[in-house]
A and B are shown apart, each in its own frame.
Chain A
Amino acid sequence: MGTRTVIPFGPQHPALPEPIHLDLVLEDERVVEAIPKIGFVHRGFEKLVEKMDFNELVYVADRICGICAFIHSMAYCQAVEAVMNVEVPPRAVFLRTVWSELARLQSHLLWLGFMADVMGFESLFMQSFRLREKIVDILEEMTGGRIILGVCRVGGVRRDVANDTLAGIVGRVKDLAKDMRRLADVFLQDDSVKHRMVGVGVLTREQAADLGCVGPVMRASGISRDTRTLGYAGYGFVDFSPVVETAGDSYARCAVRIRELFQSVGLIEQAAGKVPAGEVSVKVSGYPDGEYHSRCEQPRGEVIHYVKGDGTRYLQRYRVRTPTFANIPALVKMLQGCELADVPILVLTIDPCISCTER
């Protein structure tokens, strides 16, 4: 047995876009144990329910995360709408579906870029971000915001999109899918990429189930579970099935996200084709009285928004359970026994969003 050394990893590290700290206990070059520590970007957001009424809180929910912003606000609005028994117009429901899939596209392309960056494949990183920029431009044309869309409201959406614009955008996304295919081929077939990812950080199906993983981490271990199959928003009216891989290693997690890119393109096409005519929001009167758990599928996995109102304009309790929080135990498990050089790749394969986790 070699000498044990403790190496601090983070909160500031070139491989990490956001601050998480890991104490890595090493024997020679092999990690024996990893002790995570979070809390560097805590913003006390859940305390804000005392100061902001339930309508203003949508803007806060939009800003929980800088990458998957739209789905947070959608989950919050769905929770409040369920408490207040508001029926959202069908046009708003399908527009929400289109925007959440576009948000998934840009988030997955961002992750692919970061992954290539961590592997040292800089030109692949640039290609991913070049494609992502086009998706973000499309989002700006549709909503006015690039990442933080700010279009959800309790009772519908705040911006309408003309039908011919919607059809044009579907065409542009389908064109982008050709470029994405070329990018995906490099990720899935290039030897240098495979060398860094195949067999690294294997998480078996049993471990994934025991540790309560969510999202692509769970689906890469062979568990077919996707919150979108519950049929919230417009997902009950479109045809899709969860993307599942069985290997459970970093390569499988990458493959799940790449296949989800093309699934999202298909979902955008289906949902945009079904957007009915009509209003995009209804007027909401009264205050929320009751509680509700809203579940949505983010790019990183299942997010839960819990809302409790007591009949006043201020909510009594608001709690968010984010996907990264559920995946950190799996990360700690994956890090045990890996090489020190693989730590950045393993941290990134759970697609960590620390700002979400700490709020």
Chain B
Amino acid sequence: MSVLGMTRTTIGNLLSRPSTRRYPTKVKEPHRTPKSRGRIQIDIETCIFCSACAKRCPTDAIIVSKPDKVWEIDRLRCCTCNACVEVCPKKCLDMDFRYTLPTVTKDKDIFKQAPRPPKPPESAAPEVPAPPG
């Protein structure tokens, strides 16, 4: 009887656990795959502010300021295409599998490199005694 074609599936579903979860109390863990594209992360201390990521970005979401040592990203413009991660020469950009959480403001995420202590002055080369003779 073809009217009851769905019955087997329905009974199976009654006896098994639901495929869905009770959302507000049980939030889905992000589908953890090494390739998942969630959001861009930066290790600002290794960044050299070369602007390669900003030039490659198709949505102009990244702004880099070398004099101020500031790296900005507009998460709402970013399309998580991974182009900046592929082009980064220092590999300081990374793709996180977690998605950006919803926001109510259009703020940019701003990363500023802490000023580094000035390099110690190069010590004078040790005087090499002139070879005898």
A interface residue numbers (CB < 8 A to B): 52, 56, 59-60, 63, 123-124, 127, 130, 133, 137, 140-145, 150, 158-159, 182-183, 185-186, 189-192, 194
Contact = CB atoms under 8 A, between A and B. Distances in A.
Given A52-B58, A56-B58, A130-B19, A189 B33 contact: no
Contact of B36 (A127, A144, A192): A144
Interface in B6-64: 6, 8-10, 13, 19, 31, 33, 35-37, 58-59
Contact of A127 (B2, B9, B33, B37): B9
A130 B18 CA distance: 11
B35 A59 contact: no
Contacts of A141: 33, 35
A144 B82 contact: yes
A185 B5 CA distance: 7
Contacts, number: 58
**By DSSP majority rule, is chain A's interface helix, strand, loop, or mixed?**
helix
Contacts of A137: 31
A333 B95 CA distance: 49
Contact of B37 (A144, A186, A191): A144
Interface of B: 2-3, 5-6, 8-10, 13, 19, 31, 33, 35-37, 58-59, 79-83, 86, 95
Contacts of B2: 189-191, 194
A142 B86 CA distance: 17
Contact of B33 (A124, A144, A182, A192): A144
Contacts of A183: 9
B35 A159 contact: yes
Nearest to B59: A59
Contacts of A142: 35
